[in-house]
Amino acid sequence: MILDILDNADRYKNLYKGFDLAFDFLTQSDLANMAPGRYEINGKQVYASISLDNGVRKEDTVLEVHRKYIDIQVVLEGCDNMGWSPKAACSQPKGKYDPASDIGFYNDTPNTWLAVRPGFFAIFFPEDAHMPLISDGKLRKVVVKVAV
């Protein structure tokens, strides 16, 4: 898991294949004025989803994990109080992993919380369980998916 500000995006472009395209999209696009929806960057290898959602309470959601994609999550409006735990520490699965949607869930409690505000990003690798969308207001954010 990585938490940083978009001003430091260049430091991460060579960290993983596809990160250069992902961070170019995140830093060169007019994200604030883009409509919610999916945006192709490089086919199924790198794509973005912009959303506008009501936040949820910690008690009303669970940790999620992905196997096929890395998430780069950027908050555009609001504050997303994301939970995080190492996947290896999660022992309470909630159902089975769904390969079609690339998502699995855990009922475990996050080890730590990250207040992700506009201008910040969080990267979640397949080793990271995360609990996004924790807020008492609306959240506008972009999630870039980078294939592993």
Domain extent, residue 140, equals 2-147
DSSP string, 62-95: -EEE-SSEEEEEEEEES-EEEEEEEGGG---B-S
Give the span between the Cα atoms of 148 and 142, in whole angstroms.
19
Give the pLDDT of the chain (148 residues) as one tens digit per residue: 999 999 999 999 999 999 999 999 999 989 989 999 999 999 999 999 999 999 999 999 999 999 999 999 999 999 999 999 999 999 999 999 999 999 999 999 999 999 999 999 999 999 999 999 999 999 999 999 999 9
Number of domains the chain is built from: 1
Is the pTM value of this prediction over 0.85? yes
CA distance 97 to 103: 6
At residue 79, the pLDDT reads: 97
The pLDDT value recorded for residue 35 is 96
Domain with residue 58: its CATH number is 2.60.120.370
Q: How many residues does the chain have?
A: 148
Say how far apart CA 139 and CA 8 lie, in whole Å.
23
CA dihedral 27, 30, 32, 35 (to 10 degrees): -120
Per-residue pLDDT at 9: 96
